[in-house]
Structure 1
């Protein structure tokens, strides 16, 4: 099985190189890893006290960020090294102020794992939620470097719990401790004889609650809303946007802000074509705008834009799965999303307390929107749910502190 794993890693690298000829994300993936060890060696001193945080992408970064910042404030002498697998994480956070180095993670080969870990020589490593790399985990284990998984979540359909998942279970055996989100995850790991597990919840709650207390202010967006009821649509895809267009036409007294998941020119142009009366954020001025819909064509604003809305629509539910509902809920906003939310416990929880509605089509969207405009308690329930789930970061830092 290890042979097949190694072949798959090499094949993945080859496919990405081919795609990089015509795909910008793949191009960034390849270029960012070019001469990666020279970049690391120029910036990082392995003799110092280094802590390695790895994130798959931007979402996992925001999830692990509370712990990272807590460690940095508690142990300012420690150096923080961050790696990303995806360009969507690296390109946005490559200049993150609290990190002493931010890099792409080289592909998981035996030589890369040995070289990277030797180059940064971390005191401990923290991986957020998922990404289980055999060679990196094995080298950390062999080197006696503690490895922690935070905000982990496991489901019965994952390969770890299948009869043919012995190789993947081996990867898990290299982890020193799992901090998981729920009891189900702990029980699943127990079934495969992994007991070094704590239920700590999800560090995202700490992050979104903190963000809601002191969000960035955007005067141009505040003036665009101009005290009107506003729906904020975050991380949308074309299927979401087509549904929203019908809602926009039906509610002329509401303002709408759409922050698409992809902001390339082609996608933004499609939204403008779909909603001709819209204005792009990059063209917004400080003067009040007499238009109903604002399209956010910049990255990094969404988590604070929610402060200006009354209802949120979260995209992705008609694709692989919904995006972050908690950022909106933390601001006391009820949320609407598509049908694919089964992998997200917080979405299920929000539905169960009447703070969220899942929809399958335009008709259900209209019904959900009308329901949430009339129910003034749903937003309060959403905010209360977030606030009762905080505290994960403090639990994890208390455990990790034993290793310093």
Structure 2
């Protein structure tokens, strides 16, 4: 899990548009009335899953959420399969909010927006489905998004399906990528039932993630004590470490390529190297990858190497990602053999606390630039390469349209 990314990044990584906009798109007599939009309290349980190869889903987190207007919430994400990871959480008393990172056993203070505005600036917001609840009653989606609403039966139940199709994006000569986000809501109650994100390329559809909402309780009083903050006994306050300074010699490391061979930073001696730290479960990381592909296609023949190192992850999840993305991205990737261990390449050698993080290393093997996070439209990687006399053309306009 990354440190809280920008709210624009969260939207690019999968923040769903509002249910009220769905209602506006339907005929008045057909629009389901959501009891959540104006409810004073909401309790929800659900499951966040990823994968999607051969129709299989991989449960990642079990979710429990309590929300009270205008800005109190208690969301707990319990790992569904990963051993040794503590639950993560978002907790707010309406005035101060905290994020608990169960993987790193840390906590930190975050902003507290009011319901109806953009959701809290935290990766947990999307992974827990809180964004679906939080934005009910907000404004309509961007005009760049094509929206379709129709009736559908899912799991034997009558649903209202809203489909948002984003502008196609082309990178490096690969077939265009189209992102589609769907939200199924119970046709009678207006309660969200399932949300999912898909990527379509060359006529093939791959499902990125899915949130299944199991149960809703609306309007039932929630004790104020539920929103009181107390740090977990085994957690420490998060203090962002400083990335390696410009001019520092880049530490050598060894990672594992998809074919099982060892890949070392020193293998690229004499070249400019872009090292991208990411994970399969990190939404902002996935959102940033089309941009990395765009850059890679322009620098691969300019004595510049790109290596995307999967960190804080598991080898099976990495292998599945590689298989699913082999026709989408062509930049080289590798897996950190430390996996979820404390001695990871990113955290141990490169002082990384949140992902995605990119380092640009010059031909002398020294740090030329380092930065964390991804925001569409920003270009720190291009700026860093420009400072090393490597020019990058701007991507097509549709590549960053959202």
TM-score (norm 2): 0.33
1 or 2 for the larger relative contact order (CA 8 Å, sep ≥6)?
Answer: 2
Q: Which has the higher strand share?
A: 2
